[in-house]
Amino acid sequence: MPRYALKIEYNGAPYSGWQRQKEETTVQGTIEAALAKLEPRTHQIAAAGRTDAGVHALGQVAHADMDQDWTPFRLSEALNYHLSPAPIAITGCAQVADDWHARFGALERRYLFRLLSRRAPAVHDKGLVWQVKNKLDINAMRQGAAQLIGKHDFTTFRSTICQAESPVKTLDEITITEHEVAAGMEYRFQLRARSFLHNQVRSIVGTLERVGAGSWTPEDVTKALAARARAACGPVCPPQGLYLESVLYPENPFV
């Protein structure tokens, strides 16, 4: 059975997350249903990351095993036809080795979080950003973020239902930039690591927003991390500003 890597973009708003569920509409289930239109049988695809309900993707990666030999172009075109009008698109497709794995072969994942600061309601970006009303102190947020770089026990910043065996993760990068937009400012948080805990990114961004708003100091982030207790975390921000931006592999299958 030839195996194909798929690069996937989606708006997560209509979905109960990535992972297939019997009675819920999910991204995985929708793509598998489209695959069944091409080869009528049960399909099971595996992804680099299981995004939560409402979370988006710019560069999710999954793999699928097919019965027929498809050219990557024909497979992606056929899938996009059967996915329409769902807000899911196959933006890349490549045939890969039979043992290539979208999840276990990944070297790192990059997430983007978009936070809009303005008093007027978001119109064009509604459902695509987390909106707060007041401007944030980007330097304070950067100072707080610096406390989280490296290898740490991230118990404070993971969901109580996280299924990871260990809370210890290495966070390689948090970059925060600000961009002027109409009547406000957009802050973009980019986080990079080999893997993340459940709700880790949203917990970190929610905490850093409190630093930017002046409710926390950068030193409070250090104390929260050291507490290794979920109760020490700041508010968990909503999912709509979060995007799985890209996944890195030893060799880019889509080149």
Q: Which of 105, 128, 157 is the last residue of a domain?
A: 105
Predicted local distance difference test score (pLDDT) of residue 114: 98
Predicted local distance difference test score (pLDDT) of residue 217: 98
Predicted local distance difference test score (pLDDT) of residue 42: 97
Q: Kindly state the DSSP code that residue 100 receives in the 8-state scheme.
A: -
Report yes or no on 207 lying in a domain.
yes
With contact defined as beta carbons under 8 Å apart, do 62 and 9 qualify?
Answer: no
Largest separation between any pair of C-alpha atoms in the chain: 58
Report yes or no on 190 lying in a domain.
yes
- Do 93 and 121 fall into the same domain? no
Question: In whole angstroms, what is the distance from residue 55 CA to residue 76 CA?
Answer: 23
- Do 140 and 236 fall into the same domain? yes
CATH of the domain at 184: 3.30.70.660
Number of domains, the chain = 2
**Nearest CA-CA partner of 175 in 155, 194, 201, 198:** 201
Q: 225: part of which helix (H) or strand (E)?
A: helix 218-227
- Do 21 and 120 fall into the same domain? no
- Do 133 and 39 fall into the same domain? no
Q: Which of 57, 80, 105 is the last residue of a domain?
A: 105
Q: What angle do CA 126, 76, 58 make, to 5 degrees?
A: 30
Query: By three-state DSSP, how is residue 160 classified?
Result: coil
Active site residues: 52
- Do 70 and 130 fall into the same domain? no
- Do 76 and 138 fall into the same domain? no
Report yes or no on 251 lying in a domain.
no
- Do 129 and 35 fall into the same domain? no
Report yes or no on 252 lying in a domain.
no
207 Rama sector, left if φ>0, alpha if ψ -120 to 50, beta otherwise: alpha
- Do 49 and 114 fall into the same domain? no
- Do 130 and 203 fall into the same domain? yes
- Do 123 and 209 fall into the same domain? yes
Q: Which residues of the chain have pLDDT under 50?
A: none
What is the bridge-based pairing of β-strands 242-248 and 56-65? Answer: parallel
CATH of the domain at 67: 3.30.70.580
Q: Which residues contact 78 (CB under 8 A, 6 or more apart)?
A: 38, 70
Question: In whole angstroms, what is the distance from residue 17 CA to residue 166 CA?
Answer: 23
Q: Which of 55, 88, 105 is the last residue of a domain?
A: 105
**Pairs from 184-187 (Cβ < 8 Å, separation ≥ 24):** 184/116, 184/117, 184/118, 184/119, 184/120, 184/135, 185/116, 185/117, 185/118, 185/135, 185/136, 186/114, 186/115, 186/116, 186/117, 186/129, 187/114, 187/115, 187/116, 187/117, 187/136, 187/138, 187/141, 187/212
pLDDT tens per residue across span 145-169: 999 999 999 999 999 999 999 999 9
CA distances in angstroms from 111 to 20, 51, 172, 191, 237, listed in the order given: 22, 11, 12, 5, 14
- Do 112 and 83 fall into the same domain? no
Domain that holds residue 93: 3-105
- Do 24 and 143 fall into the same domain? no
